[in-house]
Structure 1
């Protein structure tokens, strides 16, 4: 069994609400499991390698990662180098202080705005009591704390919310980072009976054991790789097609859902 890697602190500072100061450190709360794909040259199957090269030194010399720095690009294309030490001295209050600007009901936050999630752990013994106090107060009231924080070279809005006795800090997208849907919504008419049946179907299909659901993409990819090795084909799955008679599809769906719950 592989050992769980230690959680790396990505931000250290204080959360303030009113006159209460809560020292915390943030660690990533989620991790994505990506596929095992590699880039290849589709003509001959050779593996593609990416190299760090410098426009001044030329493409033949690869630059060591330790020599790679960062710069801000100006409108005219010029570059102004910026060091990590200079970024640490930025005159930005939210660099190490996440001040709670106010508390709002969690339902007021549109889920489309949610970004990365971090666990906020108490940082030091002095943080324990205010940490428990804030966690339980949020859980009892259903409120979330709205704050600003400088994280990953960006200043972002974030919410503080409780989860299993731990405070989660979850970043939010700024308003101009959320696209409006435009004219994506259709205007097709539906009848009252169709709506009634749809609501019945929703009520019959409530309750999902999320913990029992698994990512099947990796298994399907293994099947594809195994089939290609031996030169066989993976059976194609049938794609569901839209129902010709929507009313009949709704009625049959409600009946099938009821039978499955017996």
Structure 2
């Protein structure tokens, strides 16, 4: 089943323009989701907005966005006013700035999207823009309106396509130095580093998507499957024995030696 594009518009660099479409690079559609039901009837429960003072239901036409400026004091914003915010960047990704990819720290990256040409005639211009950035290890910075908010975005060449990342706002990012500068600057003992490196080597594996599976989701699906069959789910055994639980080990050298020995036994 083809995934519908999230956004369609134009990618523009000076006088070079091409038609593109944007598709989310991640998906949450496979997550187990629940509805709230009435236990007595089995029917779904619906929620409605009510006035916090009168307790009366609010009609859809009377719902409006409000910005709080004081206690029980709000500025109302109509849908038309919100729609007119930063409209210039709703349909065109105009790359105005380039910067080395290495200059943008991971913490600024928010949500990834795949950007591709959406018609044959746009492929050449798209590939020229992508290849030029890739050859110089640069990324483009632009702005785009998504969900009624103008977002700074990063355009990054990736393989034959482009990944567009929305960037976090400046007031969303906290400085690492505020948390790390107070840490002790004690140097590790020379004897521990070789053991740590050896432990890392023994436990190094090629990346596999199975590393990030969700065991809770799998257990939920098992319960749902058993409910469909009208049978009680079989309790799963704990993955770790009580003796395998981590403890507060004071002797780092001893812990490393035992870790290496245990890893060797597993590999055999």
Q: TM-score range by the shorter chain?
A: 0.7 to 0.9
Q: 1:56 to 1:208 in 2, by over 3 A?
A: same
Instruction: Find the residue that maps to 2:199 and give its secondary structure.
Output: helix
Q: Relative to 1, partners in 2 of residues 1:91 and 1:175: Cα closer, same or farther, differing over 3 Å?
A: closer
Q: For residue 169 of structure 1, report the CA deviation from its aligned partner.
A: 0.7
- What aligned pairs does 1:32-51 form with structure 2 within 5 A after superposition? 32=28, 33-39=30-36, 49-51=45-47
8 A contact 1:106–1:142 mirrored in 2 = yes
Structure-1 residue corresponding to 2:147: 152
Asked if structure 2 preserves the Cα contact closer than 8 Å seen for 1:8 and 1:28, the reply is no
Q: Matched residue of 2:69: which SS? A: coil
How many residue pairs are counted as aligned between the two chains?
254
Aligned to 2:204: 206
Distance 1:15 1:105 in 2: 20
Q: Could you report, residue by residue, the CA deviation over 1:161-207 in whole angstroms, capped at 9, with x for unpaired residues? A: 23342211111112220234544775384312223322333344334
Equivalent position to 2:167, from 145, 169, 172: 172
Q: Which residue of 1 aligns with 2:92?
A: 97
The answer as to whether partners of 2:10 and 2:91 remain within 8 angstroms in 1 is: yes
- Cα distance change, pair 240–20 in 1 and its aligned pair in 2 (3 A): farther
Task: Name the CA shift for 1:147/1:49 in 2 (closer, same or farther; >3 Å).
Answer: same
Q: Secondary structure at the match of 1:171?
A: strand
| Secondary structure at the counterpart of residue 3 of structure 2 | coil
In the alignment, structure 1 residue 241 sits paired with structure 2 residue 246 = yes
- For 2:68 and 2:150, locate their aligned partners in 1 and report how far apart those are by CA, in whole Å: 20
| CA distance in 1: counterparts of 2:169 and 2:99, whole angstroms | 17
CA contact (8 A) 1:118 1:170 kept: yes
- Other structure's SS at 1:112 match: helix
2:9 matched residue in structure 1: 13
Range moving further from structure 2, 135-144 or 159-168: 135-144
- The equivalent residue for 1:117 is 112
Let me know the Cα RMSD of the aligned residues: 3.9
CA distance in 2, matches of 1:89, 1:7: 29
Partners in 1 of 2:245 and 2:223 — Cα distance?
22
CA distance in 2, matches of 1:252, 1:45: 58
Q: Does the CA-based 8 Å contact 2:50-2:56 persist in structure 1? A: no
Structure-2 change in CA distance of 1:152 and 1:129 (3 Å)? same
5+ residue gaps, structure 1, are none
2:127 & 2:136 partners in 1: Cα distance?
14
Contact 2:111 2:165 in 1 (8 A): yes
Mapped contact 1:7–1:28 kept (Cα < 8 A): no
Moved more, 183-192 or 140-149: 183-192
TM-score w.r.t. the length of structure 2 is 0.73
> Take 2:130 and 2:267, find their aligned partners in 1: how far apart are those partners?
37
User: Which of 229, 232, 236 is 1:230 aligned to?
Assistant: 232
